[in-house]
Amino acid sequence: MNTPLQTLANHGQSAWVDYLSRPFVRDGDLSRLVEQGLAGVTSNPTIFHGAIAEGGRYDEQLRDVLATETDPKEVFYVLAREDIRSACDVLRPLFDRSEDRRDGWVSLEVDPTLANDTQATIAEAARLHRMIDRPNLFVKIPGTQAGLPAIEESIASGIPVNVTLLFSLQRHRAAAEAYLRGLRRLRDGGGEPRSVASVASYFVSRVDTEADRRLDTIGGHDELKGTLAIANAKLAYQTYKELFAGEEWEELAAAGAVAQRCLWASTSVKNPQYRDVRYVEELIGPQTVNTMTRETLQSFLDHGQVADTLERDVDEARRIFDRFAAAGVDYDDVTAVLEREGVDKFAASFRKLFDKITHKRDELIRL
């Protein structure tokens, strides 16, 4: 009997987990989830901060690293390299047999404090790609205005990219177009489009959190609460279908290119009144990914229901946008605020991570 994750895969959607730690890999939890149908791993600074703060599993390596390196950022990368490589190795068999390199990926994020610096992001993406040295590594680059040319350049250089922090339809389209430009440059320069892939991480629940907050401020319109995020994702999927079709795309596909799939991120519910797996169940469709926290993943394994929902009521999704505008909620401002806050939160987590490493370093020195 299939698990819900395996049934999800039968409907064309890959389930990934938004979590990584050394015990998670070494103690076999990741392998056991792969047996149940898990197909990838994503990480971010907040996740690594939690992992390094837990217990003392990093202390022995930290002592060794501190003998030659004191910069907290460089210390972090040495620690993260081992975990990312180990996760890549666990998922490598899945990657090798996966059709069109769909699954078996592990993501590591570029320093989010560089989100508005194109050249620094390009250099950092290349460095992480070399440092991990695994074919199933996605380098995460924020889909900010400054991040778009970095996405193009990285793809043109043969670096697989997970475009993160996407909230708006406009920015999602721009990220997909950057991927396509990168593929064309890679092909025209004699490279192999089949050597790269990309996902577009489209954040979901945060959109409802911000939109619902604004509806509360305005007053009324309770029927609109909890509807914008799913409508937003459904229309992003229509953009995906539009851009990765037609003669020009078919030429790239014939050269080995694969489409940039939509990855639904931030799929844990923030409002306890909502069903805990709603942002999984309502966005199931072919050639997509849903990356879940461990809690949401376990909830879905326990009681998730699988049906093709992503293309239901697409016209209604468009009408929802009109209703929010009529209610006085500015979609463009909602998504702009979420992008700024997302960058700020990840950058703050990165700095907090450095502080934790510094604190650990000082603790070990005193021992």
- Catalytic annotation present for 360: no
Q: Which residues contact 46 (CB under 8 A, 6 or more apart)?
A: 345, 346, 349
List the catalytic residue out of 140, 225, 345, 356.
Answer: 140
Convert the pLDDT of each residue in 12-43 to its tens digit: 999 999 999 999 999 999 999 999 999 999 99
Question: Does the pLDDT at position 212 exceed 80?
Answer: yes
Question: Does the pLDDT at position 306 exceed 90?
Answer: yes
Confidence class for position 72, pLDDT limits 50, 70, 90: confident
Q: Report CA 321 to chain centroid distance, whole Å.
A: 24
Cβ-contact 76, 82 below 8 angstroms: no
Poorest-pLDDT segment among 53-67, 102-116, 285-299: 53-67
Q: What is the CA radius of gyration of the chain?
A: 20
The CA distance from 233 to 283, in Å, is: 8
Three state DSSP letters for the chain: CCCHHHHHHHCCEEEEEECCCHHHHHCCHHHHHHHCCCCEEECCHHHHHHHHHCCCCCHHHHHHHHCCCCCHHHHHHHHHHHHHHHHHHHHHHHHHHCHHHCCCEEEEECCHHHCCCHHHHHHHHHHHHHHHCCCCEEEEEECCCCHHHHHHHHHHCCCCEEEEEECCHHHHHHHHHHHHHHHHHHHHCCCCHHHCCEEEEEECHHHHHHHHHHHHHHCCCHHHCCCHHHHHHHHHHHHHHHHCCCHHHHHHHHCCCCCCEEEEECCCCCCCCCCCCHHHHCCCCCCEEEEECHHHHHHHHHHCCCCCCCCCCHHHHHHHHHHHHHHCCCHHHHHHHHHHHHHHHHHHHHHHHHHHHHHHHHHHHHC
Q: How far, CA to CA in Å, does 149 sit from each of 51, 142, 152? A: 32, 11, 5
Cβ-contact 305, 281 below 8 angstroms: yes
Question: Does the pLDDT at position 55 exceed 80?
Answer: no
Mean pLDDT (the chain) is 94
Q: Is 175 exposed, middle or buried (0-12, 13-18, 19+ CB in 10 A)?
A: buried
Cβ-contact 108, 140 below 8 angstroms: yes
Convert the pLDDT of each residue in 231-281 to its tens digit: 999 999 999 999 999 999 999 999 999 999 999 999 999 889 999 999 999
Cβ-contact 207, 279 below 8 angstroms: no
The domain of 361 spans 4-366
The CA distance from 90 to 93, in Å, is: 7
More confident residue, 334 or 354: 334
Poorest-pLDDT segment among 71-85, 112-126, 238-252, 275-289: 71-85
pTM confidence score: 0.95
CATH number for position 34: 3.20.20.70
Question: Does the pLDDT at position 169 exceed 90?
Answer: yes
What does the pLDDT read at residue 352?
A: 85
pLDDT above 90 covers a percentage of the chain that reads 80
Q: How many domains does the chain have?
A: 1
Cβ-contact 32, 64 below 8 angstroms: no
